């Protein structure tokens, strides 16, 4: 198949993209310590990959409470905002656009990471789920530790989290980002509210599907009020069940959420799709129904080939295609697709999470 549509310019809101390649969010744990501050090495990493029409940053916690993994960056301190300015300036210098992904992990955390007991919709621990710290392991590797039982959030906790997302969005604008993406996927806090297995509440935030989507809608409204609907996207993961997140009602719940997000007229909806071998494919009927419910831009990410992305765009089921590991190892990934060139592979799994230098981070070569 000839790849053409992926290279077409695309616009949404105030953002004019040079192509339809999206660099998807990938946690890399390179923030400076203390304070989880973005740094010059991170700015270099993102600038190298500004061949993407749109970059969505690694997940970035809106508070210390919202942190689940060591050395991940935040967006709640003055130092973090100043640190992120290095990245936005570097990416804009290369004429690309960049959104910050706003994150709260909820129950997917441990006091060994941030010194705090995790919080969640309900006091239900995520089975078979770990997070990581860096604690003197060989090669500087991440050390995985099991998550801890969370404390059920009070109504005041929920109000605080909504406020933290809104403030994080404002801080992102101060740091120079073109917009923000609310992380409602992959078993983290918002996703925990969406699913009946992790949300056992009997108040206005639990029980019915309408109640379980309430926090997502309220966070999105708060972010829209803070920075504008054209600068607000949401990421959801209807078909991903890891972190103990199985739910027979999730597809109906996601579709209901999509209708409410459509009413808010946000910039985009980003589907995080399963990316492992023999993972379930997303049914065409689901994509068609989602397109009928949500009228603005749809991004699909999940280990897709360029050919698969081209086909989805041609069928008008999605508008932009996210690529993760391909951008991790190939900073000039669109050019390699255009010229059908060989791709770099991951050189060392030890460097995927953490590391204090360029190894496995900014040393993947572009084509000469």
- Residue 92, φ and ψ in degrees, nearest 5: -65, -30
Measured between alpha carbons, how far is 168 from 329 in angstroms, rounded to an integer?
A: 29
Q: Dihedral through CA 180, CA 129, CA 125, CA 161, nearest 10?
A: -10
Q: How many CA atoms lie within 13 A of 12 on its CB side?
A: 26
Q: Which of 188, 268, 333, 364 is catalytic?
A: 188
| The residue to which tokens 């050189």 are assigned | 347
Tokens of 87: 């990245």
- In the residue annotation, 188 being an active-site residue is answered as yes
Cis check: omega of the bond before 34, within 30 degrees of 0: yes
Catalytic residue positions? 188
């Amino acid at each position: 198949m000839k790849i053409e549509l992926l290279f077409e310019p695309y616009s949404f809101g105030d953002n004019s993209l040079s192509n339809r390649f999206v660099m998807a969010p990938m946690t890399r744990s390179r923030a400076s310590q203390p304070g989880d501050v973005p740094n010059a090495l991170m700015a270099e990493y993102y600038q190298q990959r500004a061949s993407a029409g749109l970059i969505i940053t690694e997940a970035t916690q809106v508070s210390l409470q919202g942190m689940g993994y060591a050395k991940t960056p935040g967006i709640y301190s003055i130092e973090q905002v100043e640190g992120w300015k290095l990245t936005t300036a570097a990416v804009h210098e290369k004429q690309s656009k960049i959104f910050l992904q706003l994150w709260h992990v909820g129950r997917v955390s441990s006091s060994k990471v941030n010194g705090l007991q995790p919080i969640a919709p309900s006091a239900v621990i995520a089975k078979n789920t770990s997070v990581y710290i860096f604690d003197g392991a060989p090669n500087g590797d991440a050390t995985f530790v099991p998550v801890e039982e969370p404390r059920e959030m009070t109504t005041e906790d929920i109000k605080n989290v909504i406020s933290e997302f809104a403030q994080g969005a404002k801080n992102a604008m101060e740091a120079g980002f073109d917009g923000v993406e609310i992380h409602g996927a992959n078993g983290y806090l918002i996703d925990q509210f969406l699913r009946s297995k992790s949300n056992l509440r009997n108040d206005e935030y639990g029980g019915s599907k309408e109640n379980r989507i309430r926090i997502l809608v309220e966070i999105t409204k708060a972010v829209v009020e803070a920075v504008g609907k054209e600068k607000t996207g949401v990421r959801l993961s209807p078909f991903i069940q890891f972190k103990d997140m199985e739910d027979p009602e999730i597809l109906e719940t996601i579709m209901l959420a999509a209708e409410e997000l459509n009413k808010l007229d946000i910039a985009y909806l980003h589907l995080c799709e399963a990316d492992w071998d023999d993972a379930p494919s997303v049914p065409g009927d689901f994509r068609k129904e989602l397109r009928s419910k949500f009228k603005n831009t749809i991004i699909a990410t999940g280990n897709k080939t360029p050919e698969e992305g081209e086909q989805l765009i041609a069928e008008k089921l999605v508008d932009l295609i996210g690529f993760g590991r391909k951008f991790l190892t190939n900073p000039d990934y669109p050019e390699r697709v255009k010229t059908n060139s060989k791709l770099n592979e991951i050189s060392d799994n030890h460097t995927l999470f953490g590391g204090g230098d360029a190894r496995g981070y900014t040393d993947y070569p572009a084509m000469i």
